[in-house]
Amino acid sequence: MQALYQLLLEVAAAGEGVVQAGAKPIFVGGDHTQAAGAWRGVGRALGIAPGLIWIDAHLDAHVPATSPSGNPHGMPLAALLGYGDPALTGIPGPALDPHRVAVVGGRSFEAAEAQFLADLGVRVLGTADIDSHGLHAVFTEARRIAEGDGHGFGISFDIDALDPREAPAVSTPAPAGLPAEALREALRGCLREPRCVGLEVVEYCPGRDPQGRTARLVIDLVEAAAAPDGAELRRWEDEYGARNYAPLPVVLQSGSGCWLKDVDGRRYLDLMAAYSAASFGHSHPRLVAALGAQAGRLAVTSRAFSNDRLPLLLRRLTELTGHDRALPINTGLEAVETALKAARKWAHKVKGVPDGQAEIIACTGNFHGRSIAITGLSSEPQYRDGFGPFPTGTRSVPYGDAAALEAAITPHTAAFLVEPIQGEAGIIVPPAGYLAACAEICRRHRVLFIADEVQTGLGRTGRLLACQHEGVRPDGIILGKALGGGMLPVSAFLADNEVMQVFSPGDHGSTFGGNALAAAVALEALDILEEEDLVNRTAELGDHLLASLQTIARESPLVREVRGRGLFAGIELNPQVDAHQLALALLERGVLTRETHGTVLRLAPPLVISREELDWGLERIAETLAARGRPPPQAA
């Protein structure tokens, strides 16, 4: 016991020093006995014993006379209250006030311990309380007790309070236990609060944690306890990050299906799906499993070597689209660049355009990415401002005007690059027959028709590809976003042999493009698309979405037009209405979406959204529009 006493003196001194330095100690150890030193040291520094939330499967409130084993392992809480062996109680510092101690999660203890604490007035909030009221309510009550009359409180957490199936690396596991996610939420940000003076995590047994599973969980819990709130995180992002984005004032922390949760615990319905990247929802169990399983086997080797996943993805993509070959890349922008390189080299090597003179035609209002070359195709002044000079050999024609395309084609034209529906421009659906007419013009002039389906592809519009609404088979297809399942950046350019054969080894590549991890996730995403029948489901839900939006438009004077296809829709507002302010108002009502061009709210929910969830979101949109009232009258 003398060695234990000396150890506890050291722990107490360490805790006291941290508090005196103006910081908050985090104690991490193997046995809860260390608490007998930790909180005495904190109390010395504060000049008063802190209140204490004791989270433990066991009460640890034996004294020598009641302990079945005589092991000090079962005595630290009693010692902190001033009872027990002098080796534990003799650490200099104030004893805890039993009326400011709350035990949470106790489920394996002797009757003598429970009676001892009850006699002292210590509140035990056990599994029955948690089952009845939930951990969040129980933890809130424990905090109320520990804070008492406004003094500081600490948290002493024994890992065996958790379900041993989640945290097996403990010496005295007890069946059942607290769910880790619920405890993480209860602890979130507590160390950032002025009244919380420290945190202790004990009972970790490294020898029982060969995979590091419990260690990772402990780190998660400590990070949650130290996590800043949303306002502080936004301030850090603004202070330390480049200001090339202006996110809405919400900091998201977790997601499941169509729902997201912020760091402050609020839930939101996602009607953006990360611009279609999260088409399968957030944390889809199959995608999470595929990601984890493949990450544990092989992730990245570069294309200097083949891996066993990529060939499966290449074959699947070509069978799905009917094109001969696929070239895997990472982001949508990279896939667009790949398509441009393929088109120009095809024009030179196959069509006979002199080297360096191949031209690409795009449409005004396009958004294909933000690289220098792609920005050169843009008609948006902000995207171009200050970034020139841009590569030559590009020109633009009005979107939706097939005659303008034909007039712009020259003998040097290599390709026409087009979005089947323009997303960033405001969900602009072209006139019926436009894509088919453009495809016919391109065939007649021997120009490649390349469809950028990064946002619209893989079911978003109620067809596998948006071009299929007009029966168009492009010469080249660009896929991205949804192909990565919302887990990884995965993209691809697909074309037939005549185009793809222009590439030789070394012409084009990417270290990460086609890596095994990305291929495995993309394969699972394509399986989900097919097996959950998401394309047909999106067509049906899309009809419902657009019909509902038309009803909202008829009832709201704020709405100028509704347009879209499938689960890809835009609400164009009257010019006097600030779409950004409307997005902020929807955020307050628990709906996530964003505006584009200041006048359009874009809607692109995950394809897995239920009709009930979609209707809930539509009701919030209708309410928000109604609350905004009528726009001011337009000037004559």
Which residues are part of the catalytic machinery? 367, 452, 481
Helices 611-628/579-588 angle, 10° precision = 120
The conformational region for residue 358 under phi > 0 = left, psi -120 to 50 = alpha, else beta, is: beta
Residues whose CB falls within 8 Å of the CB of residue 426, separated by 6 or more in sequence, listed in order: 570, 572, 596, 597, 599, 600, 602
Residues whose CB falls within 8 Å of the CB of residue 467, separated by 6 or more in sequence, listed in order: 420, 435, 451, 453, 473, 474, 477
Asked if 66 and 78 touch (Cβ cutoff 8 Å), the reply is: no
Question: Which tokens sit at 63?
Answer: 């004294």
What is the per-residue burial (b if ≥16 Cβ within 10 Å, else e) of 171-207?
ebbbeebbebebbbbbbbbbbeeeebbbbbbbbbbee
Cβ-based burial of 215 (10 A; exposed 0-12, middle 13-18, buried ≥19) = middle
Neighbours of 143 (CB within 10 A): 19
Residues whose CB falls within 8 Å of the CB of residue 381, separated by 6 or more in sequence, listed in order: none
Asked if 251 and 263 touch (Cβ cutoff 8 Å), the reply is: yes
Question: Which tokens sit at 224?
Answer: 């949650």
DSSP annotation of 347: I
Cis ω before 606 (30° cut-off from 0): no
d(C-alpha 451, C-alpha 495), whole Å: 11
Helices 180-187/213-226 angle, 10° precision = 30
d(C-alpha 451, C-alpha 474), whole Å: 6
What is the phi/psi pair of residue 102, to 5°? -130, 130
| Largest Cα span, the chain | 99
First to last CA, the chain: 91
* Signed CA dihedral, 481, 482, 485, 491: sign only: negative
Asked if 474 and 451 touch (Cβ cutoff 8 Å), the reply is: yes
Q: Virtual CA dihedral for 583, 588, 592, 598, nearest 10 degrees?
A: 10
Q: Where are the beta strands (DSSP E) in 313-445?
A: 325-329, 359-363, 394-397, 413-418
d(C-alpha 203, C-alpha 522), whole Å: 41
Residues whose CB falls within 8 Å of the CB of residue 410, separated by 6 or more in sequence, listed in order: 359
Residues whose CB falls within 8 Å of the CB of residue 132, separated by 6 or more in sequence, listed in order: none
- Sheet with 26-28, side-by-side order of all strands: 26-28, 196-202, 153-158, 51-55, 101-104, 123-125
Which residue, among 279, 314, 274, has the nearest Cα to 532 in the 3D structure? 279
Pair type for strands 267-270 and 259-262: antiparallel
